A and B are shown apart, each in its own frame.
Chain A
């Protein structure tokens, strides 16, 4: 299995919206809905932001939303805030005969 593909960096100004893509193949992202997104500010552990493509855990602002189309999942952050500046990682849990977890390479979000 190959890692999922994310853009290395994205940026936006406060109040704007940004979208981070996560591209896989028809065998992984295209076949499974167990896509999750994690936020990792500098020097901290990752935090779950989205699970099963578009569900938000309790406490995650509704400015964060997820979607999927074909082999690409996306994380959209609307109303950007300075505190959103972090690395973001997508992940896929593949429930094949032998469960496997894939991660994207990560995307650095800069709030201008």
Chain B
């Protein structure tokens, strides 16, 4: 059964770069039928899509974050990465990675448990 596990720094200073990694286990990342995505949830608030990466390497980002986001995948290490530059307090959130499957209408399934990143000096 596919499992995803996020890991991150916990605390990032304003104006610095946030880097979060997602490790995939129990399945392969190398498949034309899988895409991968990053989402976030500020404390007490709703879900926000950050971006997705397709098997082709094409990436698609939320326009509101596009200028600051980079998503990449290392299939040999089974890791998905997220970098968000010039962070502010508004970027404080629980960051989730998830798989998308075209066969399921591009729904996110499964999700990792999330990693909390706080932006503060």
**A positions within 8 Å CB-CB of B:** 1, 3, 33-36, 38, 44-48, 51-52, 55, 57, 89, 91, 93, 95, 98-106
A57 to B101, CA, bound (A): 12
**Residue positions of B touching A, CB distance < 8 A:** 37, 46-49, 52, 60, 62-63, 96, 100, 104-114
Q: A45-B112, A89-B46, A99-B52 are in contact. Are A33 and B105 (CB under 8 A)?
A: yes
| CB contact between B104 and one of A52, A98, A106 (< 8 Å): that residue | A52
Contact A103 B105 (CB under 8 A): no
In the complex, A57 Cα to B109 Cα: how many Å?
9
A98-B60, A99-B60, A100-B60 given as contacts; is B46 within 8 A of A48 (CB)? no
A103 touches B49 (CB 8 A): yes
Ordered by A's residue number, 24 sampled pairs between the chains whose C-beta atoms are within 8 Å are: A34-B105, A36-B105, A36-B107, A45-B111, A45-B112, A46-B96, A47-B110, A48-B104, A48-B109, A51-B104, A51-B105, A51-B107, A55-B104, A57-B109, A89-B47, A91-B49, A91-B108, A93-B100, A93-B106, A101-B37, A103-B49, A104-B46, A105-B46, A106-B47
Given A104-B46, A106-B46, A106-B47, the answer on whether A57 and B104 have CB atoms closer than 8 Å is yes
Cβ contact within 8 Å between B46 and A46 = no
With A99-B52, A99-B60, A106-B46: A93-B107 Cβ-Cβ less than 8 Å: yes
